[in-house]
Structure 1
Amino acid sequence: MLAGEKTPFEMLLVKLFAIVPAVALAAAVPLAWGWGLGWADVGLAVFFYTFTSLGVTVGFHRYLTHGAFKANRALRIALAMTGSMAMQGQIIGWVADHRRHHAYADREGDPHSPWLYGTSAGALAKGFWHAHMGWMFRRELTNAARFAPDLLGDPDIQRVNRWFPVLTAVTLLAPAVLGGLITWSWWGALTAFFWAGLVRVAALHHVTWSVNSICHMIGDRPFEARDKSANFWPLAILSMGESWHNSHHADPTCARHGVRRGQIDVSARLIRIFEQLGWATDVRWPRPERLARKLRDATVRAAE
């Protein structure tokens, strides 16, 4: 299941990626009061948040991890690069971790279950921290040869995997360059770097981590699943539909997570556009009979 340990350098990178953006986010509120934030910063932050978030949700997660659709080569590479710009780690490691999560969800072997330490208040507080971000500070590496052999054998994905440091630089510096050009000032470049670079990355990190932590602790569980995954509607828009987590765990390869009426799923809408353009094929959309069976089983079990 595991494959060695992270090197000291890899551990340092994990800490920097987790802590530095979070510190920037904590500083954002006082900085916003009265100066240092303009419409250019807001627009760039929203754009890069949406752009990189969809790279993770559509590319890393629904496509490369679960095979919810097939993509042509150009789209495959583009999704891999865009997801890498979310600064959530190299693509092969990300996919291996997530496949391992599904294989052992909320059981021994799950890399980030909040139920690892028990069900008491103290255990759940410790479990929440572990599931949210603490698990990344552990030295164990998921065995990619076991959980992501398809990606290890893909030259395009291997290339993007090696490009991670470059794509990290791009995702932080591109907002600064655009901010400087839009405002034609060094100050505009600096504020764009802060808001659309550091703060945007931190916000996206915590939304993604909340799916690991909150969406395995509280929320609605309308469908039968083998774990404690739950739908948590307040995160639906920010997570691009990922917080319909119980629906996802009930049918992991489905391209749409928000399967019920009124459940917003931006990622699924983007996949639909890719399908209409002919870039994505064999999309695994929800099947009414499967949803009905999962829902019926959950209802019966809740009544028992």
Structure 2
Amino acid sequence: MPTTSDVIDKAPGAAASVSATLGGEKKGSVEQGALLAFIVVPFLALAAAVPLAWGWGVSWLDLGLMAFMYFLGLHGVTIGFHRYFTHGSFKAKRPLRIALAIMGSMAVEGPVVRWVADHRKHHRFSDAEGDPHSPWKYGESVPALMKGLWWAHIAWMFDEEQTSQEKYAPDLVKDPAIRVISRQFLGWTIFSLALPAVIGGLATWSWQGAVTAFFWASLVRVALLHHVTWSINSICHAVGKRPFKSRDRSGNVWWLAILSGGESWHNLHHSDPTSARHGVLRGQLDSSARIIRVFEKLGWAYDVRWPSQERVEARRKEPAAETA
């Protein structure tokens, strides 16, 4: 599996017709409208969740389904889209490769090829001109940072310009199975949203069970996962401790660690992007790294890029240089 810099420096090798199946380099009005719906509808459900839970309660079945679907999609993104497809932190047997692409697609964060292309571009220009979602885009004053945080969290996704998938993800464009999964993103989205409703309806043998499961394990789950993921782009590039050397402003935000699967140990990640573990210091929980370890022991993953103690120490700043 090539590293980020290995991949993006290669000349584009895929045909234009292949690119068209994955979405071009400009968003159309229909696509922007669909994106708005995917953001607004789950967010409204998230906003309604607290009063609904207070007034009518929530069943253990709904909570269980929500937790299962949340962490399934979360680790599809953190292990699959991010550490594997984007950065090549490990190699995977073909069935695991396909499973990770599907799991990540079920997080409803966009097609795998587009997600990877955007993230590789982010690393190439992190917090500098060309970064798709830096919170420092408009400057360092408080008003500029507030505007930048909104940009990094949500607004950048509505930018008409798209990252070139042939330039930043040619390896995935050339993979027939990954191309198919990427093209079928809408289908995986429908499956991801419908599955909890089907399970809830069958488990309770009622329409009410299907509706409440859809509300909690589909809409609320997607909204929560979206905002946790987007917080890595916004919050983790604006605040947090920075014990490791990096050329950007990536920081560690401890209170996002569990919900983000270890992604919020963001400073080490930007210091050593291909590392399979982001939480390398004592007490830094990183569920994604633990699952990768399980995959390795099962023989599904191999050539895992675990950080050695020497590698970690070489990236440390002097204590006085750390910022909060």
Please say whether Structure 1 and Structure 2 have the same fold, judged by a TM-score greater than 0.5.
Answer: yes
Q: Confirm or deny: 8 A CA contact 1:36 1:191 kept in the other structure.
A: no
- Residue of structure 2 aligned with 1:171, choices 188, 192, 195: 192
Quick check: 1:278 aligned with 2:261?
no
Moved more, 266-275 or 17-26: 17-26
RMSD (Å) for aligned C-alpha atoms: 1.4
Letter in 1 for 2:66: A
Query: What is residue 287 of structure 2 aligned with on the other side?
Result: 266
Quick check: 1:90 aligned with 2:111?
yes
Letter in 2 for 1:187: Q
Please state how far the C-alpha of 1:183 moved relative to its aligned partner.
Answer: 1.4
Query: What is residue 81 of structure 2 aligned with on the other side?
Result: 60
Length-normalised TM-score, structure 2: 0.91
Quick check: 1:159 aligned with 2:180?
yes
- Residue of structure 2 aligned with 1:100, choices 115, 121, 128: 121
Moved more, 220-229 or 12-21: 12-21
Please state how far the C-alpha of 1:36 moved relative to its aligned partner.
Answer: 5.3
Q: What SS is found at the alignment partner of 1:112?
A: coil
Change in Cα spacing, 1:234 to 1:300, as seen in structure 2 (3 Å) is closer
Q: What SS is found at the alignment partner of 1:33?
A: helix
Query: What is residue 23 of structure 1 aligned with on the other side?
Result: 44
**How many Å separate the matches in 2 of 1:34 and 1:299?**
50
Query: What is residue 169 of structure 2 aligned with on the other side?
Result: 148
Please state how far the C-alpha of 1:301 moved relative to its aligned partner.
Answer: 5.0
**Runs of 4 or more off by more than 3 Å in structure 1?**
297-303
Query: What is residue 277 of structure 2 aligned with on the other side?
Result: 256
**How many Å separate the matches in 2 of 1:96 and 1:285?**
24
- Please show how residues 164-203 of structure 1 align to structure 2 within 5 Å: 164-203=185-224
**How many Å separate the matches in 1 of 2:303 and 2:25?**
36
Change in Cα spacing, 1:234 to 1:301, as seen in structure 2 (3 Å) is closer
Letter in 2 for 1:293: A
Quick check: 1:134 aligned with 2:155?
yes
**How many Å separate the matches in 1 of 2:240 and 2:35?**
29
Ranges in structure 2 where 5+ consecutive residues have no aligned partner:
1-7, 9-23
Q: Confirm or deny: 8 A CA contact 2:241 2:322 kept in the other structure.
A: no
For residues 193-244 of structure 1, the C-alpha deviation after alignment (integer angstroms, 9 at most, x for no partner) is: 0000000000000000000000001111000001000000000000000000
Q: What SS is found at the alignment partner of 2:56?
A: coil
Ranges in structure 1 where 5+ consecutive residues have no aligned partner:
none
Query: What is residue 19 of structure 2 aligned with on the other side?
Result: none
**How many Å separate the matches in 2 of 1:290 and 1:269?**
19
Q: Confirm or deny: 8 A CA contact 1:221 1:229 kept in the other structure.
A: yes
Please state how far the C-alpha of 1:298 moved relative to its aligned partner.
Answer: 4.5
Taking only the aligned residue pairs, the percentage that are identical comes to 60
- Residue of structure 2 aligned with 1:204, choices 207, 225, 238: 225
Length-normalised TM-score, structure 1: 0.96
Length, aligned pairs only? 301
